[in-house]
Amino acid sequence: MKVAVGQFAVGNVWQDNARTCVGLMAQAASNGAKLLVLPEAVLARDDKDPDMSVNSAQEANGEYLHVLLEESRKNALTTVLTLHIRTTAGRAANTLLVLRAGAVISRYQKIHLYDAFSMQESRLVDAGNQLAPVIDVAGMKVGLLTCYDLRFPEMALSLALAGAEVLVLPAAWLRGPHKELHWSTLLAARALDTTCYVVASGECGNRNIGQSKVIDPLGVTIAGAAQAPALIYAELESERVSAVRAMLPVLKNRRFAAPRLF
């Protein structure tokens, strides 16, 4: 399966961000990708207004999603991203959406909110309470996570035990001391924990690091971006997952019961 990972700097005008997403979708589809992973919170962002992502939240069937679904109708590409969806007055859900053939085929409300490093996502965002189902993309099983979920190995393990061969992760990973090291280390660790591919998109710009990556089941980076807008590609193979799991059977060798998240 050919996958694409797009990263860009989300701006404060949602129409411009939607056009960027549409352009990346069209480019990925034209280059034969079956799966495209875009960053977290791509509706709107402003470095001077940390609440813009929530304050600009739209309804579940809002205009932003309508624009993306129009593009999605043109091909069989599966696109993964997150948007803030309005819940109650002044609050939103950080919602991962999976688009294919003009429809939302799966969604996941971010479970682990980023209340760390002096940030408090839960101040305006409502946490989800269940994993998304593992989905099929071009014959491979794909599990869904969002950004801070990366720091919780039991979530990735639960998805792998549910059949995932690939973990996808839209993110907006904030800059800070050692944060780039955390990002690269955790991506490799989750691949090794689960013997899954990890396909991670990072929003770039002044506040976030970019550095989108595709990691193979042995923790090796097989495609990566730097800090500028980019669209990268990699080939994923079920046979590679099977081969790694045969020589490194951590899912079979574990001695603890499957984690219960809720």
Residues 6+ apart with CB under 8 A from 154: 259, 261
Active-site annotation holder among 21, 34, 40, 213: 40
For residue 91, CA distances in Å to 58, 81, 120, 155 come to 11, 19, 13, 25
Active-site annotation holder among 110, 165, 196, 213: 110
φ and ψ of 53, to 5 deg: -55, -40
Encoded tokens for 247: 């020589």
Active site residue 147: yes
Active site residue 21: no
Active site residue 40: yes
Long-range contacts (CB closer than 8 Å, 24 or more residues apart) made by 255-262: 258/157, 258/158, 258/161, 259/154, 259/157, 259/158, 261/111, 261/130, 261/131, 261/154, 261/155, 261/158, 262/129, 262/130
Query: What is the C-alpha to C-alpha distance for residues 190 and 177, in angstroms, rounded to an integer?
Result: 21
- At 91, the amino acid letter reads R
Residues 6+ apart with CB under 8 A from 248: 195, 217, 218
Active-site annotation holder among 21, 147, 196, 204: 147
- At 120, the amino acid letter reads Q
Chain centroid, CA 191 distance in Å: 14
Active site residues: 40, 110, 147
